[in-house]
Amino acid sequence: MDDKKRLICNAVLMGFMVISVLLPLSARGAENAAMVIEQAKAAIEQARQAGAEKKAPDVLSQAKSWLSQAEKEYADSQSILSRTMKMVVSNEVKSREISYLATMAMTKGLIAEAKSKKITVAEELKGAQKDLADYRTSLEVLNRKLAEAEAAKEVQAKAEAELKDLEQAKQKAVELEAQKRMELEDVQRKSAEIEALKQQDRLQEAQRVAAREKELAEARIRTEKLALQKEKDDAELKAKEQQMAMERQKMEAMQKKMAALEKEKAMLADAAKILQTTVKSTDREIVISLPTINIFSSKNEIHSQGKAILDEVGAYLKKYSIGKIAIRSYTDSTGTAAVNQSLSEKRAQKVKEYIVVYQNISSAEVTVEGFGSTQPVASNSTEAGRALNRRVEIGIPTSK
């Protein structure tokens, strides 16, 4: 009887020793599986924050499926471990299986995040390429205007050459007038000589008178020719003076146009230096376009980055503004027309209030207008297009 009790006691002690060995091993396997599951959850959450639900929904769905299987297997293993205490080898296999499922979920989550970020970068690159194309178009317009300025310089050179010719014509007229006076003086002198000859000898006087009269007739003819030539020269001189006056007016107009072109060139160059904006030029104004995402927060308040941009715009306006500054706001097609109209008007008004208060721009010199979604610059069927349509434009006149 005592031997039987000792055998029973030894068996119980052996059972407690096995359990004490098995429990830590099982706990370590479960702890590793739980850690991998948490890492998979973190990877899936990062993918979701990166926009994978829209840009990589298939991969994200696979990651969630793997995670669901891992969590289910983990829950089952914990339940089985607490009830039956399977062997260590069996628990380690189960832990590796759960770790594999969780690792696959984490891998799919990382792939979904990478795919979303790749699509986002591609969309941003497409927008940057369009901005570059707009800038090149503005550059081409500027080059054409510079070519017109060069042509104006050639017209000015031609006008100066014609002015020189006119001065030479005036000099020639003065010389002709002097020659006429000399010829008249010569006629008068010869007339006096004839009168003296008449007194000395009537006969010789008659002969000489005839000769002198002939000379006088020729002199009169020459005088009349000179008078006619003078009238012609005066008429030509007057015509040239009128032409020069017209050319001078053209030169003044061209010089004003050249000055306006130089100013517009400087305005475009300085406007292009304002970060996170695009610039275009029309016949009457320079237009600075600001995406609303760079100016307003999600609550439609001007954030710190937007204030920095508007400070640069305000400095630009104080340097170049010569007339009414037009602030025009636009939205995308999301929402009703009435809501979009109200939103665009509020954004335009907030931009005006900021530059009036913080940049000392006269309120009377600033007009605001909201256009809602009526004038899109890109398709509203894509997020990138809608982002381009949500904008505030500031128009600065190039001339009064």
For 197-243, what is each residue's pLDDT tens digit?
Answer: 777 777 787 778 788 888 888 888 888 888 888 888 888 888 888 88
Confidence of residue 18 (pLDDT cuts 50, 70, 90): very low
Confidence of residue 158 (pLDDT cuts 50, 70, 90): confident
Q: Does residue 318 lie in a domain region?
A: yes
Q: Does residue 281 lie in a domain region?
A: yes
Say yes or no: 391 and 324 in one domain.
yes
Structural domain that includes position 252: 148-257
Q: Does residue 306 lie in a domain region?
A: yes
Q: 265 in helix, strand or coil?
A: helix
Q: Does residue 264 lie in a domain region?
A: no
Owner of token pair 């096995």: 18
Q: 398 in helix, strand or coil?
A: coil
Signed CA dihedral, 169, 170, 173, 174: sign only: negative
Say yes or no: 215 and 177 in one domain.
yes
Tokens of 92: 């380690």
Say yes or no: 119 and 15 in one domain.
yes
Distances (CA, A) of 135 to 128, 142, 291, 325: 11, 11, 16, 22
Signed CA dihedral, 337, 128, 268, 304: sign only: positive
Say yes or no: 243 and 280 in one domain.
no
Q: Does residue 168 lie in a domain region?
A: yes
Structural domain total, the chain:
3
Inter-residue long-range contacts of 278-284, CB under 8 Å, 24+ positions, other chains counted:
278/131, 278/134, 278/135, 279/135, 279/138, 280/134, 280/137, 280/138, 281/138, 281/141, 281/142, 281/398, 284/397, 284/398, 284/399
Q: Does residue 132 lie in a domain region?
A: no
Q: 359 in helix, strand or coil?
A: coil
Say yes or no: 174 and 229 in one domain.
yes
Say yes or no: 103 and 169 in one domain.
no
DSSP string, 17-61: HHHHHHHHHHHHHHHHHHHHHHHHHHHHHHHHHTTHHHHSHHHHH
Say yes or no: 245 and 334 in one domain.
no
Q: How far apart are CA 264 and CA 267, in angstroms?
A: 5
Residue 369 bridge partners (DSSP): 328
Say yes or no: 108 and 75 in one domain.
yes
For 267, other C-beta atoms within 10 Å of its C-beta total 20
Q: How far apart are CA 4 and CA 13, in angstroms?
A: 14
The pLDDT value given to residue 45: 93
pLDDT tens-digit map of 45-93: 999 998 999 888 999 999 999 999 989 988 888 775 454 544 444 567 8
- Longest Cα–Cα distance of the chain, Å, equals 203
Residue 325 carries which DSSP code?
E
8 pLDDT more than 70: no
Q: Does residue 136 lie in a domain region?
A: no
Q: How far apart are CA 348 and CA 106, in angstroms?
A: 46
Say yes or no: 297 and 346 in one domain.
yes
Q: Which amino acid is at 47?
A: A
* CATH label of the domain that carries residue 367: 3.30.1330.60
Q: Does residue 233 lie in a domain region?
A: yes
108 pLDDT more than 80: yes
Backbone angles phi, psi at 18, to 5 degrees: -60, -45
Highest mean pLDDT (candidates 170-179, 209-218, 318-327, 365-374)? 365-374
The pLDDT value given to residue 12: 47
Say yes or no: 347 and 321 in one domain.
yes
Boundary-marking domain end, from 125, 159, 178: 125
Say yes or no: 363 and 313 in one domain.
yes
CB 99 within 8 A of CB 32: yes
Say yes or no: 12 and 110 in one domain.
yes
The pLDDT value given to residue 21: 35
